Structure 1
């Protein structure tokens, strides 16, 4: 019988329930980038200090991610998810009530601790329910919620322009707390695959065993370098693309045939301004990523029936295309070409995000997948946080963002090449088996 016939209806409900949490995760995390002008006007700070708000979040998020993964491997994934959502939403609400840089920084730090516990637990829970040929698609569908949240995060600038930046944080935080209460009644754990197969059922997950497993895997070491290079590009774009577009393409409006078709009122609203830069920086990338994550997930699942390395090869292809496009974004003076570059970059990122947890499940013992993913998060966001800070530091030195964008483009292309060196374990040791 085909593996997809064994997937229950509730397994897809789990993906849907967690999709909303994923949306809130990135919405709360990234909306600050689109509201830079209003926050800085209210609480004066340098560009480096503003970048530090995201960098500190990412560094703490990365440091705590392996701990969050370990808790999800050892205890209830459901309760790790709900606690994470509740705490970070409360901190989002509090962010809208802060009046100094230090208090903002403290709120972002606590938010980093709480958000760190979510993603590995959520993807591991999805992997528990989707144990075969639906895994990449189910993972990708969940990850599309991250992109939806990032795209909506761009609306923070629009809300700030009309109602002030504090209202956005207050509304988003209250929504998250309410949804955490909903999950108390709707979300439930699934017996782990290794428990059903009685793989060491009496032995609890231990930190020592995890360290031995990860240290012994050459492919996991390659993944750590890969995710560091990818994180450098991803978080630089997340943190500084709105500013980059505003400074390089301010005043752009649709022209040519598009201008003749669209109503003049629409064209005026689409002009790239301080208020719309966040939307232009997030919507094209996140929509493309949304499509890439779904296409990359389905493609990997189907190709995986004949090629067990499909989940490594598809993101490798995506990054080898996305890297040069990120370089084009750093060099072009044409906003149309910049849109094309952002779109292809988004597709490549989607291919990668749909398949990262499935790759981990092929490389690492099933008992330790959440912890392994959490450690990758540590590497990716630590490097990414550093790049966000470097971007602000260079701006304070009057160096444009094109330089760090170029460095990130090279790293992304190299990351794609590195995936060709990743090899999976024997099939019977996969998380899915």
Structure 2
């Protein structure tokens, strides 16, 4: 294994650095699990929550409630990223986990639609600070030759959370438990886990040259990103597939329940389990492929991500057209593999075009655009379904958007000074 000092991102030559790097991933993966478990439970327990809170009234209102989380999350993501770039990524992560877990716990007590919208908006405030800081911290510790794998392992926590969330419909259906218990229990777990996370997690050492950049204003940081052609392309690329991604996450249990006459619990499992297991395989295999590809070309990660988008095309068309549950699940599996290839490479590609002291801010901007559009996709999908728009038309449009995404990512040009170390073998 090459010495840590060979990478300019790491001034510390301590031999313990690789151990700390992987421990950071191990500590953050459960946080990622909780982050997405809290979100997926909502989709899986929709029927019970609408029955218990009748003033939700329509799917359009449900979609607006889902959007309220995303819009707040999106607007605050660049701010969360900037704070993580300028101050302590560790403290941003721990604070975010503690606050969103407390709000998750409170969600178990809401009794009105307005209260549900308010708690989702508060969740957006707290969760906006996590992902940019966490992924930036991982790429701080992991040199180019392990970046995609490290990010991929972190993302497996996300898929594990989505998988567990898919079973929440069974919890909601259980007479002795219910949807309120699910939120209260998950919130308590997150609050407790924040304590060991605070004690164990560490910020990486900061180079002297980076201290100067950390004093830059948010305006200058955003201005620098706005002048970066490749960053703007990455923002577009990060956004286009996410519109379909959010609809699949938030609406697929309801789609399968209605289309194939499933119970709420079974619909949640069929909608979530195949996709997320496939995505888990996709991030691990896609991360390995991308890291291996970087030994041959500085566009290795870009090529692997583009393959994921190509898999989206038949998958999304198939989901929209399938009239049999087994066939729909097969296309969802194909979609999940493609999503995994895409998901494990976004931050590593960002690291090839943006310097370390701008990465969390950059990812925050990516979240701003992507999740804002995802919120409108959720809201719009609910409105279109209320007006009986065929699923084949909606998912056909998503498939064409994925095709455009392939052209966008292939137009990104990595910066040689930021990718030279990515091709080193450890």
- Paired residues of 1:27 and 1:149 also in contact (CA < 8 A): yes
Instruction: Measure, in 1, the Cα distance between the counterparts of 2:222 and 2:90.
Output: 24
Matched, 1:244 2:255: yes
The two structures have a TM-score, normalised by structure 2, of 0.92
The aligned length equals 408
Bigger drift between 174-183 and 214-223 goes to: 214-223
**Corresponding residue for residue 423 of structure 1:** 413
**Corresponding residue for residue 149 of structure 1:** 161
Q: Given the alignment, which residue of 299, 309, 312 partners 2:289?
A: 299
Q: Given the alignment, which residue of 129, 134, 137 partners 1:117?
A: 129
**Corresponding residue for residue 278 of structure 1:** 268
3-state DSSP class of the match of 1:276?
helix
- Paired residues of 2:355 and 2:418 also in contact (CA < 8 A): no
Q: Report the alpha carbon displacement of residue 425 of structure 1 after superposing the two structures with TM.
A: 1.1
Q: Given the alignment, which residue of 335, 338, 343 partners 1:348?
A: 338
**Corresponding residue for residue 148 of structure 2:** 136
Matched, 1:101 2:113: yes
- Paired residues of 1:232 and 1:411 also in contact (CA < 8 A): no
- Paired residues of 2:29 and 2:156 also in contact (CA < 8 A): yes
Instruction: Measure, in 1, the Cα distance between the counterparts of 2:260 and 2:403.
Output: 26
- Paired residues of 1:213 and 1:364 also in contact (CA < 8 A): no
Q: Given the alignment, which residue of 42, 55, 64 partners 2:52?
A: 42
Q: Report the alpha carbon displacement of residue 244 of structure 1 after superposing the two structures with TM.
A: 1.0
**Corresponding residue for residue 216 of structure 1:** 227
- Paired residues of 1:65 and 1:378 also in contact (CA < 8 A): yes
- Paired residues of 2:351 and 2:418 also in contact (CA < 8 A): no
- Paired residues of 2:60 and 2:382 also in contact (CA < 8 A): yes
Equivalent positions of 1:19-98 (< 5 A) are: 19-44=29-54, 45=56, 46-98=58-110
Q: Given the alignment, which residue of 375, 389, 397 partners 1:399?
A: 389
Gap regions ≥5 residues in structure 2:
5-14
Deviations 1:365-399 (A, max 9, x none): 22100100111011111111111111111122233
Instruction: Measure, in 2, the Cα distance between the counterparts of 1:222 and 1:34.
Output: 34
**Corresponding residue for residue 289 of structure 1:** 279
- Paired residues of 2:92 and 2:129 also in contact (CA < 8 A): yes
**Corresponding residue for residue 11 of structure 2:** none
Matched, 1:322 2:289: no
Matched, 1:167 2:185: no
- Paired residues of 1:155 and 1:279 also in contact (CA < 8 A): yes
Deviations 1:173-213 (A, max 9, x none): 00000001121211111114xx1xx4353342322331232
The two structures have a TM-score, normalised by structure 1, of 0.91
CA gap of 1:428–1:154, structure 2 versus 1, over 3 A, is closer
- Paired residues of 1:364 and 1:430 also in contact (CA < 8 A): no
Q: Report the alpha carbon displacement of residue 223 of structure 1 after superposing the two structures with TM.
A: 1.2
Gap regions ≥5 residues in structure 1:
251-271
Q: Report the alpha carbon displacement of residue 324 of structure 1 after superposing the two structures with TM.
A: 2.2
Instruction: Measure, in 1, the Cα distance between the counterparts of 2:374 and 2:211.
Output: 38
Instruction: Measure, in 1, the Cα distance between the counterparts of 2:132 and 2:122.
Output: 18
3-state DSSP class of the match of 1:337?
helix
Q: Report the alpha carbon displacement of residue 431 of structure 1 after superposing the two structures with TM.
A: 9.1
